[in-house]
Every structure is written in C-alpha cells, then in structure tokens.
A and B are shown apart, each in its own frame.
Chain A
Amino acid sequence: MKAKKAVAQAYLWLILLILYAPIIFIAVFSFTTAKSLGNWTGFTFELYRNLFTGASSDSAALMSALKTTLLIALTASVFSTALGTLAAIGIHNMRGRSKAAIQFVNNIPMLNPDIITGVSLFLLFVFLHFSQGYVTVILAHITFCTPYVVLSVLPKLSQMNPNIYEAALDLGATPSQALWKVLIPELRAGMLSGFILAFTMSLDDFAVTFFTRGAVGLETLSTYIYADSRKGGLTPELKPMMTIIFLAVLVVLLLVNLNNFRKEKKTNR
C-alpha cells in the first residue's frame, strides 16, 4: 500500500510540475528585464514598476486592456445575473413544451464553440447594420454568460419552499416587495455562483470578443495577447501581470475553500 501511495503521489506531483512549469518560469523571469528569453540579467522590480506606471506605451496598452477586460466582464455578468434570474423564475413556472424548448435553446450557447458564437453574432450585427464596438461585445458576452446563471438559479428554485412567497402575498406584500424581500434572498446563493461563473467565462473569452468588437480598437487581455503573439515579440510587462493574476486567483481559491479544508481535516482524523 505504501509503495502504491508513493507511486500515486509521484505521478500527481509530476503532472503538477509540468502544469506549473510555464507559470513558474514566467513568474521567475518577471523579476528581470532581459530582452531575450531565459536570460537572467539580475533581480529587479522594473517590469512591475513599468506595468503600474505605464512607463512604456506597451505597458500602458496592457493596463488599459486589463481594465477593458474587467469592465466588460463586470457589465456583462451583472446584466446576465439579472436576466438569468428572472428567466429562471419564469422557466421554473413553465410547463410542457415551451419549458423544454426554452431550456434547449438555453443550452445552445454553452455547447456552441466560441468561434461559432462569435461568427454567428458577427453576422447578426452585420445583418442588422449595427455598428460594432463595446455594446456588441457586451451583448455577445451576455449571450454566452446568461445560460450559466439560469442553470445556477434553477436548482435553488426547486429547493425553496413555494409557500413563503404566497405567504408574503397573503400578508399584504405587493408582488415586487415579495420579489425583493422573499424570492431574491432565497435565491442569493444561486445568483452569486451564476455571477461568478459568468464573470470568469467573460474574462476567459477570446473568440467571441474577437469577432464582435468591430474596428474601434477595443482590446481585452485575450485579444491583446493574440495580437502580441502575431507580432512576434511579447510585451515584457505581461510577465509581471500574469504573475499577479496567478497569485490573485490562488489566494481567492484558497480563501473560498478554506472552510472545506478545515472540515476535511476533521473528518480525516
């Protein structure tokens, strides 16, 4: 058993090592400024300084791409959460064919590859003569984010006690009061996980943004990196930015899961 466990652990850590090698490599070389890759010219925070002060035109463009990415993700996921929650309440109360139909269509954006979503929305905006830019990108992001909100909220609706909404109405609440004071608090957990999913989906997107952004010079992190890689030379400040993003994700996930770890420790003992 011991040998088996050692082999298993060795396998896990070998894969982890391969998975993390590029990230660690980037993190290490974010602390030097050598132009050619893999060259170490001494420890310095210069790239970090450049990134935050916008010392070069590249680092300023990179920072603005980061801001655009966050802005789009935030706007799209807020709208998606509102639209998706309402839709989930409606779908939960539907029956028969119309319910099956809307759930089927709700699955399409999740199954469609990004490039198809991007191309089809591009054709829609061309067809409607809708000029492309921030608005079209945000609409497109709402399109592929909302299904995740719907699927996160629906289970909460089937779990909740249907009588409390009725009770609120019987006790004299208006439907909108009952929505804000009874329904939404009950659905909060589902809405939150839907929001987080929508946000990360939007952050990660490349192809949909690429096809719906038009020619207004809108760059998100993904499109910036793509353009950079086609030019050949990567912006050096990408290295500190990636290091910071990685650490942020690591810290957030560890915090979110801290409770799970504690519980597990207890049950293990």
Chain B
Amino acid sequence: MKLQFKRSSWAGPYGIFLLLFVILPLVLVGAYALYDGDGHFTLANMAAFFTDPKFSDSFLLSLEIAIENTLICILLGYPAAYILANKELNRSAVTALLFILPMWINALMRTMATAEIFAVLGVRYGKGTLLFGMAYDYLPFMIYPIYNILSKMDRSYSEAAQDLGASPATVFRKVTLPLSLPGVMSGVMMVFMPTVSTFAISEILTNNKIQLFGSVINEQFNNLMWNQGAALSFMMLIIIGLTTVIFGGDEQVSEGGLV
C-alpha cells in the first residue's frame, strides 16, 4: 500500500546531501588518482600499484589475511551459531547475547585488550597474533547473521527430511546448510570488508611489524602524497565492488540486532 499524498520531495535534502557527501567524494578519489601533484593528467599513480612491490605486496598480503580471517571466522563461528540457534543444544538466550555483546564495544578497545594479553604472555607479534586478534575482533560479526537466519528457519523442512529417512548428516548437508547460506554471505561481507581495509587494528596487533594495504594508504596521506593515496584507494574500491557483486550487498546490514 502506498501513501496517497505526494511526499516524494521530502527526500530532496537527503538527495543533495548524498550527491555532495557520497558521490562527489568518490568521483574525487578517481580524479585525484589520475592527476599528479601539479594538476597534470597521469597514469603513473595507477601504474605504481602494479610496479611498486611495496604496494602490490601489501595489497596481496591484505587480501590473504582477509580471506584467512574470514575462513577462520566461518569455521569457528558456524558451529557456534548452529548450537546457539538449536533449541535442543542451547536454551539460554543469555548465551546468545554474550556472543554478540562485543559488537557494541569499541573495536580498538577490544584490540588493545588482546594486544595486552599477547604482551603479558610474551607472544611474539607477527602474523599469528594478527590472525588471532582479528578472528577475536570479528567472530561476533560472523556468528550474529548466521545465528539470526538459523533461528528463524522453519524447522519443518529438516523434520520432513528426517521423516523421509535422511540421516542427520544428510539433513544438515542438504537442508540446513543451503538454507543458512544467506547468513554466511552476510557474515562474509561483515568480516571480509573491514579486514581487507583495516589499518589501525593490524598495526596494534603486530606492533607495526606487518603493514597491510590500509596502512600503506594511510602512509601516503600522512606524507601528503594524496594522488598516490587516491590511486591506492581506488584499487581498494574495485576489490570492495567485486566482493559486493559476488556476495550480494542487499541484506548484509544488521538490523540493530538487539536480539
């Protein structure tokens, strides 16, 4: 049902706001990427991404870390979400709440706490601490959407499969898992996107030993190399665009999630 009155113009201010603060800035990223500091057109900034090993290596490393982190989160998070959503295995809503509670605490604060523990335990900073700390940071973001979709799932599907003689393993493989895939996709978006672009979290977790692509971009802007920084940001935009197309960005937004 549509409202009868004409109120479409009320979106006007927001339309202008979006043009100014979303569209124009993105256009500027592309524009700065294609010019040098003196305002002459150049492809050198873009080319440097492929030719300068500092850029391409950190880019590939970021991609690798983000993929590994996403996989770790799925492997640890899926069983947890499954158990949480299963009334026979877990009855307490408080446990579910405890799992998503960290989502409300400032990410850098939680990262700092993890880094402190590493320091006390005497663990050497490096890729291990990075992967552990990132999984720690992002696990709730994987568990939440999967838990959400599993707990809303109509149980009659799996019961029907069981009645028709499917073993529990088959029920899971042919019914539960496929039905929960949209939740996994949302989780992938919520975990992969921030990890591929982070810089503060990785710097804190490795004591600056490992420079991810985000750190390299930040470094360009710190050193007033805006055009080079814009070109690298542009490359990251491409990766993000591809991920969105592959994993679908329509429903990844968590709805506040107060259970």
Given known contacts A12-B90, A22-B113, A165-B3, A102 and B11 CB-to-CB distance under 8 angstroms? yes
B22 with A143: CB separation less than 8 A:
yes
The interface stretch among B152-160, B172-180, B233-241 is: B233-241
B200 with A226: CB separation less than 8 A:
yes
Contacts of B7 in A (CB 8 A): 89-90, 92-93
B146 at the interface (CB under 8 A from A): no
State the CA gap A140–B20 with chains docked (Å).
11
Classify the secondary structure of A's interface with B: helix
Contacts of B139 in A (CB 8 A): 15, 19
Closest residue of B by beta carbon distance from A151: B253
Nearest CB of B to A179, in Å: 9
Chain A 76-105, CB within 8 Å of chain B: the 1/0 string? 000000011011011111110010001001
Closest residue of A by beta carbon distance from B115: A229
Contacts of B193 in A (CB 8 A): 111, 113
B136 at the interface (CB under 8 A from A): yes
Chain B 42-79, CB within 8 Å of chain A: the 1/0 string? 00000000000000000000000000000000001001
State the CA gap A93–B10 with chains docked (Å).
9
B105 with A246: CB separation less than 8 A:
yes
State the CA gap A246–B32 with chains docked (Å).
42
A134 at the interface (CB under 8 A from B): no
B236 with A116: CB separation less than 8 A:
yes
B13 with A234: CB separation less than 8 A:
no
Determine which of B10, B79, B106, B113 lies in contact with A221 in the assembled complex, contact meaning CB atoms within 8 Å. Answer: B106
Given known contacts A90-B10, A245-B109, A207 and B221 CB-to-CB distance under 8 angstroms? no
Determine which of A4, A20, A116, A242 lies in contact with B240 in the assembled complex, contact meaning CB atoms within 8 Å. Answer: A116
Determine which of B32, B107, B226 lies in contact with A204 in the assembled complex, contact meaning CB atoms within 8 Å. Answer: B107
Contacts of A126 in B (CB 8 A): 226
State the CA gap A254–B132 with chains docked (Å).
28
Nearest CB of B to A261, in Å: 5
Contacts of B26 in A (CB 8 A): 108, 120
State the CA gap A8–B85 with chains docked (Å).
12
Nearest CB of A to B40, in Å: 17
B203 with A229: CB separation less than 8 A:
yes
Given known contacts A90-B7, A105-B22, A193-B256, A4 and B89 CB-to-CB distance under 8 angstroms? yes
Contacts of A139 in B (CB 8 A): 21
A46 at the interface (CB under 8 A from B): no
Contacts of B252 in A (CB 8 A): 110-111
A137 at the interface (CB under 8 A from B): no
State the CA gap A120–B255 with chains docked (Å).
26
B80 at the interface (CB under 8 A from A): yes
Determine which of B117, B120, B256 lies in contact with A152 in the assembled complex, contact meaning CB atoms within 8 Å. Answer: B256
Determine which of A91, A92, A140, A249 lies in contact with B105 in the assembled complex, contact meaning CB atoms within 8 Å. Answer: A249
A196 with B256: CB separation less than 8 A:
yes
Chain B 115-132, CB within 8 Å of chain A: the 1/0 string? 111011000000000000
A21 at the interface (CB under 8 A from B): yes
Nearest CB of A to B80, in Å: 6
Closest residue of B by beta carbon distance from A87: B14
Nearest CB of A to B224, in Å: 10
Given known contacts A165-B5, A253-B101, A234 and B88 CB-to-CB distance under 8 angstroms? no
A22 with B10: CB separation less than 8 A:
no
Contacts of B117 in A (CB 8 A): 21-22, 25
Pairs of residues from A and B, 9 with the lowest C-beta to C-beta distance, nearest first? A90-B11, A113-B197, A87-B14, A120-B25, A90-B10, A22-B113, A38-B120, A8-B89, A162-B3
Q: Can you list 8 contacts pairing A with B, beta carbon distance less than 8 Å?
A: A23-B105, A115-B214, A115-B233, A116-B236, A119-B230, A123-B28, A253-B258, A261-B94
